[in-house]
Amino acid sequence: MPSIQVHQVLATLGDGDAIGHEVLGIQRVLRGAGFESEIFVQTAAARVEPLTRDYRELTEISRPDNILIHHFSIGSRASRIAYALPDRMILVYHNITPPEYFVGVHKLLAELCFKGRRELGAYPPRCDLALGDSEFNRQELAALGFAPTGVLPVVPDFTHLEREPNYLLAGQFDDEWTNILFVGRVIPNKRFDDLIRIFDVYKRQFNPRSRLLLVGSYGDFEQYLAMLQELVAALKTPDVHFTGHISDEELIAFYEIADLFLCASEHEGFCVPLHESCFMQVPVVAYAATAVPATMDGGGVLYTDRTPAHVASLIDAIISDQTIYDTIVASQDAALARARARDFAATLCQFVDQVARTPRRPRPPASFDFWDQLRLVERLDELRQVRPAAYHALPFAPDDPRRTTGSRESDFAI
């Protein structure tokens, strides 16, 4: 067994999301290669929590010869502890949505994204290697001064789409009408407003027997959802359906009844639903922005002219011509085959070996009282949870976030 240990650290391990799949896939590869490898997190979804350890335990096993794979998607206390430890570091960047998308819609998330992007700027001298999970993310790292950089591709994993579909919700749309689908959280950077405007033109000018199915959670974004519903009412566009959060079995059913997947998103670090659509053989029409062209890799139809009439005409051409439809699906099959043929395990092990063989970089200095401040934050966080009234009775500092937000204050500490 290799003498060095290779651990992972991240703020939150989700259940079934793209980052969660990659983290667990990395651990399988590392353990298969003989490395001792644990996953350290601040929080985790209930189903995957037994697979993790508390991020504060990192201090007990940290060693200069170890390698820490740090998944950076937003600033966190786990991130700051990782910065201060002596381990070599491989940073894996999953992208942070620019905060301006959330201004006026979600104050806390705008602040978190701003602070996360600012925090990322401190990491170039700390990292021995910086990896994007797409070429778009790698280019962003290089522009920030990270070197060397590389791409650790997202692991294509479709096991969640290989179950029995549940048609309880989607069954009502399984008819002779054309179903245009988008899957993704209802947030501003995904430009749901453009989806609605494009569909409005398509339905009025090309196909009145059509509907728009918008599948994804809108939790914490009810204000944005209300804005979209106001747009639907202003345009007087019928047959626009928001499903909210659904199960994997329900998601399969929606893919199976979909005639076309439409994506208007302006900012994506990868966009897993594009790969899901390819796997489910649903033709994709997507705005060619950020990581989308690389994710599609020559498959589907990408557009740069965002005029609703132009995109609606593309949709009509695909839906109306079976030959075009089949050609697009074939192009997606080929792109997905290329993605699945990548040797993820070999790529990861090469990156680990590269870092292990490279001379150590000088360790960036942490604040002299960093660990004292960390212990103070932990005590305050414990007080916040056990005796919230006493916590809120503490005096405000001039820059205390309790003064202006209703956020979880401990998330901003250190």
**381 falls within a domain:** no
**402 falls within a domain:** no
**186 falls within a domain:** yes
**387 falls within a domain:** no
Query: What SS3 state is found at 146?
Result: coil
**397 falls within a domain:** no
Alpha-carbon torsion angle 275, 278, 282, 288, nearest 10: 60
Confidence bin at 87 (pLDDT 50/70/90): very high
Domain housing 263: 160-341
Q: What pLDDT does 76 receive?
A: 80
Q: Verify that 34 and 164 share a domain, yes or no.
A: no
Higher pLDDT, 328 or 153: 328
Q: Verify that 32 and 137 share a domain, yes or no.
A: yes
Q: Verify that 286 and 257 share a domain, yes or no.
A: yes
Q: Verify that 149 and 99 share a domain, yes or no.
A: yes
Q: What pLDDT does 360 receive?
A: 84
Q: Verify that 267 and 246 share a domain, yes or no.
A: yes
Which of 58-67, 190-199, 292-301 is predicted least confidently?
A: 58-67
Q: What pLDDT does 371 receive?
A: 55
Q: Check pLDDT > 60 for residue 368.
A: no
Which of 71-80, 110-119, 363-372 is predicted least confidently?
A: 363-372
Q: Verify that 62 and 184 share a domain, yes or no.
A: no
Which of 44-58, 85-99, 192-206, 366-380 is predicted least confidently?
A: 366-380
Confidence bin at 412 (pLDDT 50/70/90): very low
Give the angle 180-184-186 at the CA atoms, nearest 5°: 100
Q: pLDDT tens, 300-318?
A: 999 999 999 999 999 999 9
| High-pLDDT (> 70) share of the chain, % | 89
Structure tokens at 204: 């009025």
Q: Verify that 74 and 223 share a domain, yes or no.
A: no
Average pLDDT value for residue range 79-95: 92
**388 falls within a domain:** no
Confidence bin at 70 (pLDDT 50/70/90): very high
Q: Verify that 111 and 226 share a domain, yes or no.
A: no
Average pLDDT value for residue range 224-232: 97
Question: Which residues neighbour 102 within 8 Å (Cβ) at sequence distance 6 or greater?
Answer: 109, 110, 113, 187, 188
User: What does the mean pLDDT of the chain come to?
Assistant: 90
Confidence bin at 338 (pLDDT 50/70/90): very high
Output phi, psi for 287, to 5 deg: -70, 130
- 300 in Cβ contact with 328 (< 8 Å): yes
Confidence bin at 411 (pLDDT 50/70/90): very low
What is the Cα gyration radius of the chain?
23
**376 falls within a domain:** no
Q: Verify that 90 and 228 share a domain, yes or no.
A: no
Q: What pLDDT does 376 receive?
A: 67
CATH number at residue 181: 3.40.50.2000
Confidence bin at 382 (pLDDT 50/70/90): low
Which of 77-81, 210-214, 342-346 has the largest mean confidence?
Answer: 210-214
**362 falls within a domain:** yes
Q: pLDDT tens, 255-286?
A: 999 999 999 999 999 999 999 999 999 999 99
Q: What pLDDT does 381 receive?
A: 66
Q: Verify that 209 and 259 share a domain, yes or no.
A: yes
Confidence bin at 408 (pLDDT 50/70/90): very low
Which of 8-17, 218-227, 280-289 is predicted least confidently?
A: 8-17
Q: Check pLDDT > 70 for residue 74.
A: yes
- Exposure string of 90-126, with b = 16+ CB inside 10 Å and e = fewer, is bbbbbbbbebebbeebbeebbbbbbbbbebbeebbeb
Confidence bin at 112 (pLDDT 50/70/90): confident
Report the C-alpha gap between 2 and 74 in whole angstroms.
31
Four-residue CA torsion sign, 305, 308, 310, 316: positive
Confidence bin at 325 (pLDDT 50/70/90): very high
Q: pLDDT tens, 131-144?
A: 998 999 999 999 99
Domain boundary among the residues 308, 341, 374 is at: 341
Output phi, psi for 45, to 5 deg: -65, 150
Q: pLDDT tens, 40-57?
A: 999 998 989 999 999 989
Q: What pLDDT does 97 receive?
A: 93
Report the C-alpha gap between 283 and 298 in whole angstroms.
13
Q: What pLDDT does 410 receive?
A: 36
Q: Verify that 185 and 136 share a domain, yes or no.
A: no
- 242 in Cβ contact with 186 (< 8 Å): yes
Q: Check pLDDT > 70 for residue 402.
A: no
Confidence bin at 239 (pLDDT 50/70/90): very high
Domains of the chain: total = 2
Q: Verify that 305 and 271 share a domain, yes or no.
A: yes
CATH number at residue 91: 3.40.50
pTM, full prediction: 0.85
